Each structure stands twice: as structure tokens, then as C-alpha cells.
Amino acid sequence: MKVIKRDGRVVDYDKQKVEIAIQKANKEVRTVDRAEKEDIEGIISYIEELNKKRMLVEDIQDIIEEKLMQLQKYELAKKYIVYRYTRALVRKQNTTDETILGLIKNQNKEIIEKNPCKNTLLASTQRDYIAGEVSKDLTKRILLPEKISKAHEEGILYFHDAEYFLQPIFNSCFINIKDMLENKTVINGKIIETPETFQIACIIITQIILTVASSQYGKQALNIKHLGKYLRKSKERFQNELEEYKEKLTKYDIENIVKQRLEQEVKTGIEILEHQINLITTTNGQTPDITLFLELDENDEYIEENAKIIEEILKHNFKGMKNEKGEYETPEFPKLLYVLQDNNCLKGGKYDYLTKLAIDCSKKSLSPCYISEKKMKEKTYSQKEGRNFLTYFKDNDGKYKFEGRFNQGIVSINLPQIGIIANKNEDEFWKILDERLELCKEALMCRHYALLGTKTDTSPIHWKYGAIARLEDTTTIDELLKGGYSTLSLGYIGVFETTKLLKGVSHTTKTGEEFALKLIRYLKDTVDKWTKETNVGFVLYGVQEKWLGCRFARIDKQRYGNIQSITDKGYYTNSFNVDIRENIDKLSKLKFESQFQEISLTGAKSFIQIQELEEETIKYMYDNNSFVDFY
């Protein structure tokens, strides 16, 4: 028999450890209250006769307590319970030592895998991680209900926000850069006036990105279309400067000079933007995790200026930046998200040339990824912030509000583990799923309640100076946590593996597909029900982080034995994605996954191999898929 320890390790059963534990308690009571040798042997025999292949150490201890009570050894049972409780306290008082020491020695595999963009050898990064481990420890022992902490440790769910749960900060946001540039903002107690040139706007944006990133722990995004206004301001300044030479220069000369200066202005501004992003380090010990949203809005009076800006961003991305060896490479940030629209979807639109340039960039650097405005408009979800999407929300004037919104936090459920436990019994699967979804809801509400009462002064850039809102001093952010203004995400992973466990086939087969779609619809209906019950904006999030698939699979292997038949990759497949080894062509894969994107609207990313990216693929994406990335 194997015994599963509290930390997930699996060891051989040793009956001597049972005997030693009871004998230690024996020494604490009178002779008359002690368990005799045959009593102890009887308890050991009972455990062994259960003939279980694997047992939790807690279950063995429960049996010991129960048997001592049956033997009417009440004082002994009490001492054993106290001993057990004391040992638990000792463990709880020292939960961070090993993880922190492993971090300092660069041996903490889970931390290294979780965010490869953070260099765990750097002192600044280690400082952030050490603080995160302390927060995780206090969160697990004190702040979260014990059943949620236990569920997290056992891989039932993953509480994403434990590293920062101590602080009144949230996950990710979509910066309202338009408001901040047009209506001034404040950084480090200094007023930042509305910029008068494109280059100054780029400098201000990088400072906003840094300050925002240092006051939250997740991703951020901003729409680049708001820069077009400032490029026109630069053009007007150049024209005004040449006014005094209008008698010496022809109109053609002036236009040519302005054009040349404007081209240099765009080039320099984008170099400033991208160099600054990659040269700054946040208080989290990394480059800001920022996504630039590349959109050409037909109703925008600055669309031509924005086309020039997007072109320069793509050119700069294609060229890359020099690393420490002097070799050009594409930096990790900023990430680029290119919006496919009627005017650039390679069907004769005016800006098709930008999409062709984007394709060249993607083939070289896997960036940008693409979303279809057409498909997004068919849904009730808005633009992107990081990998999440936000539900549509109308402001007091009845207008849809996209920017200046945020995600409070994420809790992810381990679907394959439910499939393992259900053991092909579908009724049992749905029963366990319901139980665990309620646990996820409670965990998400813990995240929500922890943010309630947060004062605007905790992060002025977010709450007072426009990144999200312009609330008054010393007020709370509570109004932004309710009514769907912000979201709470239920993440999920491993639909492919779960379907195999319940149906014995891939979810790309007819039988598997029916089950998988039913499962995703059920999850979506559940979060919608939570929203109505709580007046909090719950959304369904298809988890894309490979490290979480690795964590869940590793825990399940330790707890339930060989999972080779479920996955031999060592990790569970992202969200609803098709397993990488499934024999399916790119368009069939995109078509298959598109039906899941219709239901699971956040994190709804399809992947194809970069060599499969062609103009025809782009056209297909525009008509069928909301979000496509590459590997």
C-alpha cells in the first residue's frame, strides 16, 4: 500500500509508524488508559485489511482515532488528537521555509515554470517571490477557509491570487489611456499634462504602463488607436513651424518636409515606446506584461495616423531588438494583438497591406496574434485585457464601456481529476462537478470580499487618476466590484483529457464532441447563474497557461497513480484545445474549436503552427474564430 503525505509525496506504508504514533500517546496517559499491544495490532490489521492501494495519511489517522474510541480509550484518543493537532500546528508554522530556500537556490521548479518571463536569479525578482511566498503561507493558513486551501493543495482547484491575496490589488486591466492622455493624470504626485506631440505621448504611456504594472499583479492592455490624435498634433506643429518659410518654400516643399519629419516622429516615438517598455522593471521584478491592441476603427477621425503607427510597430517588431550578445531578437513584451476587420481581412480592404506585414511578423516572431472583430461583435463580450475578455458593460449614459475595466481574480478547476474519480460513471462526474463548482464559487467570492473596502489611495493611478476610474480621495472602489463592471473568472483546463476519461474517445469524435460541448455549456450556465445570484460579473475562462496543466497532472499522478493513459505529455491540454498530436488539419482544427469559442468567451484562444499561417488562414479566421495564436 502507498501512503499519500500532506505535501503530495507518495511513500510506502510502514506499520511501525502507526505503532510509534500510538505509543507516544500511550506515554501521556495512565497505565489503565493505555492501548495494549494487541489493541495496536488490531488497529494495524484493520488498516491493512482494507486492501487499499493508496491512502491519505489523514485517513489513516482518522481510523486510529475512531478505533481508540471504539476501544473506550477516551483519554488516549484525546491525547492522540492533541498530538496530531500539535504536529499540524508545527507544520503550519513552517510552511514557507522550504519554498523560500528553494527559491533562493533556484530549485523551486513550480515558481520557475509559472512565469518564464521572470528571471528567478535576480535579487529584485526573488524579493517579489519571497513576499509572494509569505502571502501564500498566510493566505493558506489564515485568510482562506481550510477547505479551499486543502482543495488548492490537492489539485482540485487552483487559487491564482494567493501570492498577492494579502494586499488590496487585483489581477489585470484594460487601461483607459484615452482618458489619461486627454484629461491629465498624476504619477508620483506630479501632474502629467496632455501631451502636445506624439513622442511625448509615447513617453507618458511608458510611465503609465510602469506605474500601473507596479500596483497590480496581472496583465494590462491598451488600445494604440488613441495615439493617432497626438501624431496629428505633431504634424500640425511641423506645419506651423514652417509657416514663416511659406514665401521661400513651395507648398510641395513644405508638404515634403512635413512628411519626412512626421515619418521620423513615428519611428522615434515607437522606438521610445518599445525601448522604454523593455528597459524598465516593475516592483514585481519583471518587464511590464503589456499587450498593445492594434485596431483601425473606421469611425475614428485619426485612422490614417493610426495606420502609420501600427505599420511602424509591426516594422519594429519584425526587426526586433539587440540582446546582450548584439543579436536581434523579438522581445517578450509588448505583446501585440492585431484586430481583423472589414478593412484589413485580406478581402480587398484599404489596410490589407498592414495585415500582410503582420503575417510576416508572426512568421518571424509568433507575434502578433489575431482576433476577429466580426466574431467578437457577434458575442456579448468586449475587447481584450491580457488573455481575459470582459463582459459588455454600459455606463450611466447607456454607452458601452470597454476601457478602464479590470479582472478581480481567477480560480481554475481541474476537470480531468473529476474524470479520474468518476471512473467512467457520468452521473458521478456531474455530481462531483457540482460540488467542486460550489467550492470554486466560494473561493472566487473570497477574492471579491477581500477587495471590498479597498480605498482609492492604495493605488491612485488606478482609482483616482484615470487608468480605471476617477474616484474621490479616501473613498472605496466597491462600486466597481459589482454589477459587471469588473469580472471574476472561473478557469478550466483539460477538456480533451476529461472527455477521454468519461467517453473513452477524443473530444474531436462525434461522441466526444457532444460531451465536451455539453460540459462547456454547463460551465457557462453556471457562471451566468452566479452572476444573477451575486450581482458580480462572473465569466468562464479557458486557461492557456501550460504550467497549470503541468501542476494538475503532477498532483494527479502522485495521488491517483499512473496517468499515462490520460496524458503522456506530462501536462493537461489547455482549455478546450485539441491535443497537439491529434491528426487534424489547421482549418478543421479552427472550425472545431470555434464552436467552443462561441460558449467559452474568455481565454478562448485557438493555436495553429506558425508555418500554417497564410493569407487564406487569415480570411478563414476572420469569418470563424474570435482569437488565434501560434506555436
Mean pLDDT value of segment 230-254: 91
Residue 62's pLDDT band, with cuts at 50, 70 and 90, is: confident
pLDDT at 155: 95
Instruction: State the CB neighbour count (10 A cutoff) for residue 333.
Output: 19
* pLDDT for 382: 41
In this prediction, residues 440-469 reach a mean pLDDT of: 95
Distance CA 417, CA 579 (A): 17
pLDDT at 453 (0 to 100): 93
pLDDT at 409 over 50: yes
The whole-angstrom separation of Cα 394 and Cα 320 is 39
| The amino acid at 306 | N
pLDDT at residue 383, rounded to an integer = 39
Copy the grid coordinates of residue 588: 478543421
For 82-123, write each residue's pLDDT tens digit.
777 666 655 555 556 566 556 555 655 565 555 555 666 666
Q: What are the pLDDT digits (tens) for 352-367?
A: 999 999 999 999 999 9
Please state whether beta strands 335-340 and 328-329 pair in parallel, antiparallel, or not at all (unpaired).
Answer: unpaired
Q: CB of 266 within 8 A of CB of 231?
A: yes
Residue 288 CA neighbour count, 13 Å, CB half: 30
Residue 539 pairs in a beta bridge with 489
Q: Strand locations in 205-248, DSSP E? A: 220-223
- What mean pLDDT comes out for the span 526-532? 97
Task: Give the whole-angstrom CA distance, residue 554 versus residue 154.
Answer: 11
For the segment 593-620, the average pLDDT, to the nearest whole number, is 91
Q: What is the pLDDT of residues 200-234, one digit of tens each?
A: 999 999 999 999 998 998 899 999 999 999 999 99
What does pTM read for this prediction?
0.81
pLDDT, residue 114, reads 59
Q: What letter does residue 244 receive in the DSSP assignment?
A: G
Q: Which residues contact 245 (CB under 8 A, 6 or more apart)?
A: 254
pLDDT at 146 over 90: no
Mean pLDDT of 441-468: 95
Q: Report, as an integer, the average pLDDT of 537-544.
A: 94
Residue 285: all three cell numbers together: 521584478
pLDDT of the residue at 105: 56
| Residue 481 pLDDT exceeds 90 | yes
Q: Which residues contact 391 (CB under 8 A, 6 or more apart)?
A: 380, 381, 382, 484, 487, 537, 539
How far is residue 131's CA from residue 135's CA, in Å, rounded to a whole number?
A: 6
Query: Which residue ranges make up each domain of the chain?
Result: 2-93, 97-143, 176-333, 407-583
* Strand runs labelled E in 388-479: 388-391, 405-414
Q: How far apart are the C-alpha atoms of 136 and 161, rounded to whole Å? A: 9
Average pLDDT (554-567) is: 79
| 243: confidence class by pLDDT, cuts 50, 70, 90 | confident
The span from the CA of 126 to the CA of 119, in Å, is 8
Percentage, residues of the chain above pLDDT 90: 63
What does the pLDDT look like over 567-595, one tens digit per residue? 778 899 999 999 887 889 999 999 999 99
Q: What is the mean pLDDT of the chain?
A: 88
Average pLDDT over residues 517-521: 97
